Structure 1
C-alpha cells in the first residue's frame, strides 16, 4: 500500500514539481489541498492541473471567513494600535 502525503498545492511551478517529486521519490499517493482565501486564482484550473499531475484526491476548502477573522482583522487592529 503506497504512502499518502498531503501537499498544500497552489498549482504553481514549485508545488507542481514537488508533487511529482513526492510521487517518484517516496512512491506516494499525493493528496492536494488548496485553500480558497479569496485570492484571484482559478481554483477549478488548479484542481484540473493536480489531476493531470496524477493526484487522485484534491481538496479545495473555502477558508475566506477564517482567513479574514484570524489574519486580516488582527492586522487592522494591530495597525490601529500602532498608529494610535
Structure 2
C-alpha cells in the first residue's frame, strides 16, 4: 500500500491516540514509535507507556519537559 516503514506518533495514552496506533500498524503495516511529553500530568505518564507497550509498540519515548514547559510557556 505504501512505502511508509516507521511513524512517530505524539501519544497521550488516550482512546484517540491508542486507536490510531493500531490503525497505523494495520493500514500501513509500519512500525509505530510513540512520544509522550511529560509536562506535569503526573500519574498519567506511566499508564500511557504501559498502554503503548500493550499495543505492540517497541520504541516508546517519554521526555520530562516540565521545566521547559513552565519556562517557555507558563511564565
Q: Same fold (TM over 0.5)?
A: yes
TM-score by length of 1: 0.80
Please list every run of 5 or more consecutive structure 2 residues that lacks an aligned counterpart in the other structure: none
Count of aligned pairs between the two proteins: 73
RMSD of aligned residue pairs (Cα, Å): 1.5
The one of the two structures with greater contact order (alpha-carbon pairs below 8 A, sep at least 6) is 2
Which structure: greater helix fraction? 1
- TM norm structure 2: 0.89
Q: Hey, what's the Cα distance between the residues in 1 that align with 2:43 and 2:15?
A: 14
Runs of 4+ in 1 over 4 A off after TM superposition: none
For structure 1, which runs of at least 5 residues remain unmatched after alignment? 74-84
